[in-house]
Amino acid sequence: GAGVSQTPSNKVTEKGKYVELRCDPISGHTALYWYRQSLGQGPEFLIYFQGTGAADDSGLPNDRFFAVRPEGSVSTLKIQRTERGDSAVYLCASSPSTDTQYFGPGTRLTVL
Amino acid sequence: SQQGEEDPQALSIQEGENATMNCSYKTSINNLQWYRQNSGRGLVHLILIRSNEREKHSGRLRVTLDTSKKSSSLLITASRAADTASYFCATVRMDSNYQLIWGAGTKLIIKP
């Protein structure tokens, strides 16, 4: 079956702009996660959804970052007033439970 | 924050040799997982070992876990050029049943 998909695969934006990154999880997976990965580092947890609600958003770096999952399926990560330091690969994962997480290919965000 | 630390940071071996990567972590865990990542994008789940397990096998992969030393190792036997990738360990803490905490990874290069 289809895996986790993320769009766009690459996003280049200018400092101060607003961006939205989309994640389509595997059908039926109730858990959804967002991570951010900088070059040469492991992923860094941002937020975890169980169904429609954000069960843990403690990893969001500041209030410029926000994520939603209104119908318990697709999720959108929103970044306001982007900064150069936001440049990274944003990874989404979904899971049927809380064990194995299945990752999408990521969105490479570049803030100029 | 990253919990796991992999070593070595980089490993280059000849095809056919065995590759061993190690991971250390700091807190008590529920389980430890190994992932592979090609070209800085999609992460692929390899194997999960629970805190009450000591060793697990999957094909050419062998994972060990020593909770007293807070360490794990991943052995890839009879390496192939296609095994070239970055390998990450990720832990799920005892007080969290979902949040993966990642190390910085080991970059493995298999020379043909």
> Pick the residue with more confidence: B6 or A3?
A3
Least confident of A12-21, A82-91, B6-15: B6-15
- Alpha-carbon A86 to chain mean position: 13
CA distance B18 to B106: 15
Interface contact B43-A103, CB threshold 8 A: yes
Give the closest residue to B83 by CA, choosing from B66, B105, B61. Answer: B61
Q: What percent helix, strand, coil does chain A show, rounded to 5?
A: 5, 50, 50
Band (B39; pLDDT cuts 50, 70, 90):
confident
Interface contact A43-B102, CB threshold 8 A: yes
Question: Chain B residue with minimal CA distance to A47?
Answer: B99
Provide the number of CB pairs (under 8 Å) joining chain A to chain B: 59
Alpha carbon distances (Å) from A47 to A85, B24, B101: 18, 24, 13
CB neighbour burial string for B24-55, b if at least 16 within 10 angstroms, e if fewer: bbeeebbbbbbbbbeeebbbebbbbbeeeeee
Mean of the pLDDT values across residues B17-31? 93
**Does residue A1 surpass a pLDDT of 60?**
no
Q: Tell me which of A29, A38, A41 to substitute to probe the interface with B (most B C-beta atoms closer than 10 Å).
A: A41
Task: Read off the pLDDT of residues A23-77 as tens digits, 9 standing for 90 and up.
Answer: 999 999 999 999 999 988 889 999 999 988 888 899 999 999 999 999 989 999 9
Task: Read off the pLDDT of residues A75-107 as tens digits, 9 standing for 90 and up.
Answer: 999 999 999 999 999 999 999 876 789 999 999
Touching B: A residues 3-62, CB under 8 Å: 31, 33, 35, 37, 39-45, 48, 55-56
On whether any CB of chain B is under 8 Å from the CB of A105, the answer is yes
